[in-house]
Amino acid sequence: MDTFEAIKSRRSIKSFDIHHKMTADEINKILESAILSPTSYNIQNWRFVTVTDQTLKHKLSELSHGQRHVSEASLVIILCADLNSWDREPQRYWRNIPEEPRNSLVDSLRSSYRGKPQQQRDEAMRSCGMAAQTIMLAAKSMGYDTCPMKGFDYEAVGQLIGLPEDHVISMMVVVGKAAKQASPRGGQLALSEVVFENKFSQV
């Protein structure tokens, strides 16, 4: 599917074919696309928990205020981030470049994030947001539909998946075969309302 067509046709689907199963190859194809998403300093701080077990999907549905599409979807991807990825063997993020610039990048990376928890968290949300969009567009190009989600009990989901203390959950994306199409778009704002050339217009 053409990239622009995938962008235009991607919608948040709330009803999936519960009987459809995705293959391991299909899931891997989506995740292989996700890890090509950009991250600052190439720290690749996203971590993906994939859930296909129906019992676990039912539990996730309960923790998502009973939203059925969580249990109906073929796949639930919980997008998490390692807040300390900046300090976990960072040399590996640039293993394909010469040692001198690699060491310089490591020093710069640690200087940028050490002792800055808000920046670590902000970076986690940015990284997972970009990965989520990649997941949704990759899935759409493969004939699947998705729904990004933030409406769930983050603490309880973290306990369910054994989230490490130095990780955070950003969102979930559910993936599957749509059983019901989305309603017409509610209404997009005009470009003139959201785009400003060079700077915001003076009031």
Report residue 92 as tokens.
């590996």
What is the domain extent for residue 58? 3-194
Q: What is the pLDDT of residues 55-90, one digit of tens each?
A: 999 999 999 999 999 999 999 999 999 999 999 999
pLDDT above 80 for 201: no
Instruction: Spell out a b/e string for 112-149, using b for 16 or more CB atoms within 10 Å of the CB, else e.
Output: ebeeeeeebeebbebbbbebbbbbbbbbbbeebbbbbb
Asked if residue 202 belongs to a domain, the reply is no
Asked if residue 199 belongs to a domain, the reply is no
Asked if residue 203 belongs to a domain, the reply is no
Asked if residue 57 belongs to a domain, the reply is yes
Please give the tally of structural domains in the chain. Answer: 1
In DSSP terms, 102 is beta-bridged to none
- What is the pTM for the complete model shown? 0.95
Q: What is the CATH number of the domain that holds 190?
A: 3.40.109.10
Please give the torsion angle defined by the CA atoms of residues 176, 180, 181 and 185, in that order, rounded to the nearest 10 degrees: -110
Q: What is the pLDDT of residues 136-156, one digit of tens each?
A: 999 999 999 999 999 999 999
